[in-house]
Amino acid sequence: MARIILHKELFDYDTELRKAYPVICGVDEAGRGPLAGDVYAAAVILNDSVLINYLNDSKKISEKRRELLYDEVIDKADAYCVATASVEEIDKINILQAAMLAMKRAISGLGVKPDLALIDGNRLPELECESRYVIHGDAVSASIAAASILAKVSRDRYMRELDEKYPQYCFSQHKGYGTKLHYEKLEEFGISEVHRKTFLKKLYEKK
């Protein structure tokens, strides 16, 4: 018999909001902290009939489980979109604004205008619909948790693609974050075109 781990409070949170806002969009980003790669964002619209076993904050779920949930979210969502802001945009407008831009693109790409967008964190992008931020939202709202899964899995897959293109940096191991291994590879091979120059300003100037 399959084990059931349902964080029903996440779904109850969204259900209550749908009494006033029938179409709710959950939004989350992945990749604000790394030294390399684009920042990703996802927007997801679920409905009251959807329950997803194991759905939770993506950081609390194993990589294998996230991959399984990714497929389930896509299958059960009324609408979803994954969008990015590039390394060049991050360096030009800063990571916070780039993350907001990726979120805005994800919402615009839904093809459906939500009545309310729930944004993980404590900042809001400029949107055409009503929005509110939810601190630690991926542990509060099922819609945001679903978006966190899509954003995280999409970015991890992208970093594995970069690993094939730039194997010397071991991107598949650290996903671009500032680990000891990553800094060692930067010292050895220098900064690539997929590294965020503003995150590595001192190292960039030295090189």
Binding residues for a divalent metal cation: 28-29, 120
Contacts of 12 (CB under 8 A, 6+ apart): none
Q: Which residues are annotated as a binding site?
A: 28-29, 120
**Angstrom distance (rounded) from CA 63 to CA 40:** 17
CA torsion angle for 105, 89, 163, 203 (degrees, to 10)? -150
**Angstrom distance (rounded) from CA 201 to CA 207:** 10
Centroid of chain to Cα 128 = 21
